[in-house]
């Protein structure tokens, strides 16, 4: 069967869900102000890190009494830091509907071995939050990067909860409106929605999370890079730019450039609108064709950043081989790079629609 290639080609073929594409108009010249070869403990290094924290607070609308820290090892490091430092004081509920959430379940149940209930959903769906006991500590991803589904809002999380909510928001922050009053610990990496360079995580703590840190010591030893308290008090320096380990000032400069761009397009609203419009392009394409569909079963929970699609034509006998061939063909044509489905996810494509 002859296949005619579309005449239109994307201006930017980079569709990876992390590391993600750079901001529009990016060039290395934008990083010329990076204090390379300078200590992150010098005044200039501390000032850059503090500026990044303050700009993060401004754009995301994070409350003034929440702490924001830049921590090692990307979003993964931030999540692990939170779980190892905060869990164990009470029972936990682990919610998972994709591979990264499943990884957090493994860490809590098999590594930390604390009392935890696990609630799961298949790829394309999310856990029913109305059935979650928020008097336990609840760990969940806001947006399932590998499954293309997200939490639609924080309505099911009670204001008078006794437990902490620990939210991995790495492909949601800067593209979705997060309800900070419902989130006690929030983590993300700037390599996702803002297309920053990898290796650094961001950890956001509510006053309730800080109170837990200062009143509870876990039964297990904590590695140095996880320790956020000393003598029963929060190490405040972490949350004003005095990082636990050495950050890359080049990556920090890149993040600052992205934050300034975000502010120039209208801040969080501009970012959310861009991601939503991008996702709608893919949704509309799927809706108009009978051979491809969104992996998300409920439009209310469909992701606007990591949009996952599946091929539904009944003539396809080997879905995995077919999807892999499509991704390979798109890459060969130079029109779509790195958009195969995640290795643990159902066969299909994952199209990054972030801001």
- Domains (ranges, CATH) in the chain? 28-263 (3.40.640.10), 267-352 (3.90.1150.10)
Residue 288 tokens read as 């108009």
Q: Terminus-to-terminus CA distance in the chain, angstroms?
A: 37
φ, ψ at 340 (rounded to 5°): -70, 155
What does the pLDDT read at residue 135? 98
- Quick one: pLDDT band at residue 3, thresholds 50, 70, 90? confident
CA 270 to chain centre: 18
Kindly write down the DSSP assignment for every residue of 218-252, as one continuous string. Answer: -SS---GGG--EETTEE-GGGGGT--SS---HHHH
What does the pLDDT read at residue 1? 67
Q: What pTM, to 2 d.p., does this model score?
A: 0.97
Tell me: pLDDT of 294 over 90: yes
Give yes or no for a contact between 253 and 33, defined as CB atoms under 8 angstroms apart: yes
Give yes or no for a contact between 165 and 182, defined as CB atoms under 8 angstroms apart: yes
- pLDDT tens for 120-162 read 999 999 999 999 999 999 999 999 999 999 999 999 999 999 9
Mean pLDDT of the region 77-89: 98
Nearest to 348 by CA among 68, 62, 17, 56: 17
Tally of helices (H runs) and strands (E runs) in the chain: 7, 14
The residues pairing with 311 across neighbouring beta strands, listed in sequence order, are 292
Mean pLDDT of the region 242-249: 96
Kindly write down the DSSP assignment for every residue of 125-182, as one continuous string. Answer: ----GGGS-TTSEEEEESEETTTTEE---STTS-TT-SSPEEEE-TTTTTTS---GGG
Nearest to 167 by CA among 156, 155, 179, 158: 179
Helix (H, G, I), strand (E, B) or coil at 196: coil
Residue 71 CB contacts under 8 Å (≥ 6 apart), including other chains: 77, 78, 81, 200, 201, 202, 203, 225, 238, 243, 244
Q: Looking at residue 341, what DSSP letter applies? A: P
Q: Looking at residue 202, what DSSP letter applies? A: E
d(CA 127, CA 118): 10
């Amino acid at each position: 069967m002859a296949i005619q290639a579309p005449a239109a080609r994307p201006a930017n073929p980079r569709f990876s869900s992390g590391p993600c594409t750079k901001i529009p108009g990016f060039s290395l010249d934008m990083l010329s102000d990076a204090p390379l070869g300078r200590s992150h403990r010098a005044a200039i290094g501390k000032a850059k890190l503090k500026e990044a924290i303050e700009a993060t607070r401004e754009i995301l609308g994070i409350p003034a009494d929440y702490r924001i820290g830049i921590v090692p090892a990307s979003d993964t490091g931030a999540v692990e830091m939170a779980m190892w430092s905060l869990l164990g004081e009470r029972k936990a509920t682990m919610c998972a509907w994709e591979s990264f959430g499943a990884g957090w379940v493994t860490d809590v149940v098999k590594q930390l071995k604390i009392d935890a209930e696990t609630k799961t959903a298949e790829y394309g769906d999310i856990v029913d939050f109305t059935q979650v006991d928020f008097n336990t500590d609840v760990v969940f991803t806001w947006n399932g990067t590998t499954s293309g589904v997200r939490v639609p809002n924080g309505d099911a999380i009670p204001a008078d909860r006794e437990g902490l909510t620990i939210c991995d928001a790495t492909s949601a922050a800067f593209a979705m409106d997060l309800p900070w009053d419902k989130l006690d610990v929030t983590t993300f990496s700037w390599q996702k929605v803002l297309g920053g360079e990898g290796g650094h995580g961001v950890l956001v703590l509510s006053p309730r999370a800080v109170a837990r840190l200062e009143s509870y010591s876990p039964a297990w030893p904590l590695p140095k890079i996880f320790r956020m308290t000393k003598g029963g008090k929060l190490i405040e320096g972490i949350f004003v730019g005095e990082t636990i380990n050495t950050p890359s000032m080049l990556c920090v400069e890149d993040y600052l450039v992205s934050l300034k761009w975000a502010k120039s397009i209208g801040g969080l609203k501009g970012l959310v609108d861009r991601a939503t419009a991008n996702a709608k392009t893919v949704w509309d394409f799927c809706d108009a064709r009978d051979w491809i569909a969104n992996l998300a079963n409920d439009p209310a929970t469909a992701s606007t950043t990591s949009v996952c699609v599946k091929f539904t034509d009944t003539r396809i006998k080997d879905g995995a081989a077919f999807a892999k061939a499509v991704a390979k063909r798109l890459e060969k044509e130079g029109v779509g790079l790195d958009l195969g489905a995640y290795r643990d996810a159902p066969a299909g494509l994952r199209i990054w629609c972030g801001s």
